[in-house]
Amino acid sequence: MELIFFGAGLLLGLILWFWQWRQVRYALQTLLEPYAARPFKSSPWHRLQTLLSQQLQEQERCRQQMLRSQRILEYAPIAYLEVDEANCVVCCNAAARSLFGFRSPEGRLFLELVRSYELDCLIEEVRQAQTITEQEWLYAYLTPTGQTKRKPLRARGLFLEEGHVGVFIEDCEEVVRLRDERDRWAADVAHELKTPLTSLRLVTETLQQRVPQSLRDWVDRLLEEIIRLSLLVQELLELNRLSHTPADGLERHPLDLVQLIETAWQSLAPLAATKDIHHEYTGPEQFPYCGNESQLLRLLVNLYDNAIKHGPGGGQVLTRLRSDREGGYLCLEVIDTGSGFPPKDLPYVFERFYRAQVRRQRFVIPTDHEGRLLPVGSGSGLGLAIARQIVECHGGYIEAANHPDYGGAWLRIYLPLTFTIAP
């Protein structure tokens, strides 16, 4: 009887084992279905062992790649730091530790290590917008001797997973120093050239009345080039003066922007008439403002001069003036109907001496079919640079784009409304 119970139990155990084995095999086959395309011809157990081996190899490869990326990031010449959703520092490389004087920042609150309101705002903006954001600012820090110094920085933040934000920070101190040296050198050269160019102009004007008629065209051409160089020197000196004029130190007087727009256009009306270019103004009849009249007039003349030079014959120049009370700025737009800025040149149109699609032939004197000298017209590349400096001296900013409807250059000037005068 005991043997019968033993055999029945053994049989039941074998049945249960076989049923469990079938269940495990079915579950294993279901698990391996996504890998059915792979050339496995062995049993599911062998296939599972092969896949586990491949997975371990993949994990090792990922680990090696992560270590390589961390090593590259650690020795990168640009500072990098990463913060989590609580703004605690997760990691930072050697350049960041050197820039901010870190030792063991991991796990500490970001504002405890870097007292920078601008960088904190950048991180929050990136986290909310979840887009790449850039910003430049002056970072104030204390030296070992207790002195407060400022360092120009440029940061680019990018959104990572789980609320983390990575920030690349570039020290622009060397760039700013080189730019200041370039501007100072240009101003010094312009100052030294001013006196000899004035002497050359006086001598040329004297010769203009004494040379034979056959040589008069050559002297006229020489005088034109001297005048052009004198204007370039004057613009360089003006640009250097504006760059050292703070917004709070600007001399301001009450004026009417609408009347200033009309005055600027009338000064260039003869040049516009030669190309049959017309002007159209849209905005209020009067717009009282407190600013530097001569500088704002120079700003408008530069913009209109560019619009007329690059506008087509029979074209139009549009000026629009409006106030954005919510943004706190007035907006002055100048639009032409020309071909606009080349897209690749848009980021550089306000740089000094930058001219789009420059094609010049040196030492070639152009003449017409009768051999007479033709006038040469070429900008110095300082017009828009001076325009931007004038706007910044007034506490505003300027933007350049191509108008979506007219296709021509679209320059937008924003000036703070805090200097408007109630009519």
Q: What is the pLDDT of residue 10?
A: 78
Instruction: Identify whether the C-beta of residue 87 lies closer than 8 Å to the C-beta of residue 110.
Output: yes
Q: Return the CA Rg of the chain.
A: 35
Rounded to whole angstroms, the Cα distance separating 315 from 208 reads 37
| CATH number 1.10.287.130 is the correct assignment for the domain at 173-244 | yes
Contact between 279 and 307 under an 8 Å Cβ cutoff? The reply is no
Q: What share of the chain is helix, strand, coil (3-state, %, to 5)?
A: 50, 20, 30
pLDDT computed for residue 377 by the predictor: 37
Share of the chain above pLDDT 70, in %: 86
User: What's the pLDDT at 142?
Assistant: 77
Say what the pLDDT of residue 360 is: 35
pLDDT for 423 equals 58
Q: In this structure, are residues 164 and 85 in contact, taking their beta carbons and an 8 Å threshold? A: yes
pLDDT at site 235: 78
Lowest mean pLDDT, pick from 46-55, 191-200, 280-289, 291-300: 46-55
Q: Could you tell me the CATH superfamily of domain 252-362+378-423?
A: Histidine kinase-like ATPase, C-terminal domain (3.30.565.10)
Task: Supply the mean pLDDT for the chain.
Answer: 82
Residue 405 clears pLDDT 60, i.e. is over it:
yes
Say which range, 188-192, 248-252, 307-311, has the weakest mean pLDDT. 248-252
Contact 84, 102 (CB under 8 A): no
Which pLDDT score, from 0 to 100, does residue 256 have? 94
Q: Which of 46-50, 84-88, 209-213, 370-374 has the lowest mean pLDDT?
A: 370-374
Strand runs (DSSP E) across 224-351, as ranges? 253-256, 278-282, 288-291, 316-324, 329-336
Best-predicted range by mean pLDDT (27-31, 134-138, 352-356): 134-138
What is the CATH number assigned to the segment(s) 73-171?
3.30.450.20
Question: Mind giving me the DSSP string for 17-56?
Answer: HHHHHHHHHHHHHHHHGGGTTS---S-HHHHHHHHHHHHH
**C-alpha to C-alpha distances, 303 to 300, 335, 403, nearest whole angstrom:** 5, 9, 15
pTM equals 0.60
Question: CATH 1.10.287.130 region(s) of the chain?
Answer: 173-244
Highest mean pLDDT among 41-50, 106-115, 278-287, 411-420: 278-287
Cα 171 to Cα 26: distance, rounded to the nearest angstrom:
61
Mean pLDDT computed over 138-161: 85
Percent pLDDT > 90 in the chain is 25
Judging by beta carbons within 10 Å of its beta carbon (0-12, 13-18, 19+), is residue 79 exposed, middle or buried? buried
| Portions of the chain given CATH number 3.30.565.10 | 252-362+378-423
What integer pLDDT is reported at residue 262 of this predicted model? 95
Domain with CATH 3.30.450.20 in the chain: 73-171
Q: What angle do CA 343, 344, 349 make, to 5 degrees?
A: 85
CA end-to-end distance (rounded Å), the chain: 118
Residue whose C-alpha is closest to residue 292's, from 352, 237, 246 = 246
pLDDT of 12 higher than 60: yes
